[in-house]
Amino acid sequence: MATQIDKEACREAYNDVRDDATETSWAAFVYEGSMIVPAATGTDYEEFKKLCKDDTRLFGFVRFTTGDAMSKRAKFTFLTWIGEDITGLQRAKISTDKTLVKDVVQNFAKEFVISDSRELDQEFLCKELRKAGGANYDAQAE
């Protein structure tokens, strides 16, 4: 059966993360059978990381505050989590299913495909976002 996405529900979660007026900093999208739906949203990145288990595949949209001494700004990342225990067929399917999610999650600075929980480290992701962001006035300190 072809995978489908609940576009309205996913778009609502996506917009909640993008909205500067809310404290929501992440949204997770999971499979319910052959449908991709929002699983949860939250304000603490550690909560998002707990969803990334070895037997899970999910998509995440996360807001991080990055910048340097001269400016702080919100940067967004699109994460694809593929747990270690995911079957080969599910791994192959996730790459085509990702296009369905990207129809909703369209604006982000950097995309990551992660299978190792160590790569979910917030410091690492923020460092990559700073690199993608261009000018870094704190470069002298690095």
Question: DSSP assignment of 82-111, as one string?
Answer: E-TT--HHHHHHHHHHHHHHHTT----SEE
**Is residue 82 situated within a structural domain?**
yes
On whether residue 28 sits in a domain, the answer given is yes
CATH classification at residue 72: 3.40.20.10
Distance (Å, whole) CA 71 – CA 65:
10
Examine residue 39 and state whether it is found in any structural domain, yes or no.
yes
**Cα 121 to Cα 52: distance, rounded to the nearest angstrom:** 12
pLDDT of 140 reads: 44
Cβ contact 124:45 at 8 Å: no
The CA–CA distances, whole Å, from 5 to 16, 87, 142 equal 18, 21, 42
Domain presence at residue 142: no
The parent domain of residue 30 ranges over 4-134
Q: Domain tally for the chain?
A: 1
Print pLDDT tens along the chain (142 aa): 799 999 999 999 999 999 999 999 999 999 999 999 999 999 999 999 999 999 999 999 999 987 666 777 889 999 999 999 999 999 999 989 999 999 999 999 999 999 999 999 999 999 888 887 665 555 544 4
Q: Which of 1, 58, 61, 62 is nearest to 30 (CA)?
A: 58
For residue 87, is it within any domain? yes
**Percent of the chain that is helix, strand, coil (3-state, to 5):** 35, 30, 30
In a domain, 129, yes or no: yes
**Are 63 and 17 spatial neighbours (Cβ–Cβ below 8 Å)?**
yes
Alpha-carbon gap, residue 100 to 107, rounded angstroms: 14
Model pLDDT, residue 10 = 98
**Residue 21's CB: how many other CB atoms inside 10 A?**
6
